Amino acid sequence: MFTRVIRPMFLLMVLTLLVGCQSNETAKPKVTNIDPAQQDTEPTTSAKSGLPGIGNPDVSATAPLIAPTPRVDKIELASRPAVVNLDDKPGPDGVSITLRLYNLEQPLAFALQTGVIEFVLYEGNIKDAEVADAEPFHVWRFSANQINNSGRKVLVGWQYALSLDWLGKPPTSSAVTLVARIPRPGGTPIYAHPVHLPIGTR
């Protein structure tokens, strides 16, 4: 008789414990390794599999300009010889670039710590002297935090490698000009030398 009473009670206790454990597991908060204090409030960038980083074009930025530290004296911009396909559909979708920033007091390229950097695309072949007054076709804007996700150390210092997608709004000209610039509060932006790229057949 005693055994008949104990067994149902024991089974009831086990079931109660199992239900309690399951409810505790579902009630646990999600764990993230992102520090909210480090999250950027400026426009974000998207990424595609297999690419260092993809920027969203034509993003307006409302954050105030901050002078980069250390001071940027020279921007070196390089690109693949032509525009590139960034998806599984035929036709060009954007440009893939590398970028290095230099200060005259430092021998190696450095990572952007503050401020923003912009990549500006123009239709046609635009010369150095015409860049400041030309009408941009696309503008990609990155904060220091955002672009540093696409950077790594190489022999000459810190180098960025990323792909810029014009997201379904292709240029209509046979060639494009790309420049990198860093806006400076109270002064004119500093520009890299323009890169000229053929569009090719579409």
Give domain status of residue 163, yes or no.
yes
Q: Measured between alpha carbons, how far is residue 62 from residues 41, 59, 119, 144, 193 in Å?
A: 10, 10, 17, 15, 27
Statement: residue 146 has pLDDT above 60: yes
Domain count, the chain: 1
The CATH number of whichever domain residue 170 belongs to comes to 2.60.40.1930
pLDDT band at 184 (very low <50, low <70, confident <90, very high): confident
Q: Give CA 82 to chain center in angstroms.
A: 21
**Helix (H/G/I), strand (E/B), else coil: 74:** strand
Give domain status of residue 30, yes or no.
no
d(CA 197, CA 177): 6
Give domain status of residue 169, yes or no.
yes
Give domain status of residue 23, yes or no.
no
Domain of 108 in residue numbering reads as 41-198
pLDDT band at 66 (very low <50, low <70, confident <90, very high): confident
Give domain status of residue 168, yes or no.
yes
Give domain status of residue 104, yes or no.
yes
Instruction: Find out whether 184 and 65 touch, Cβ atoms under 8 Å.
Output: yes
Q: How many CA atoms lie less than 13 Å away from 75 in the CB half-sphere?
A: 25
Statement: residue 68 has pLDDT above 70: yes
Give domain status of residue 138, yes or no.
yes
Give domain status of residue 16, yes or no.
no
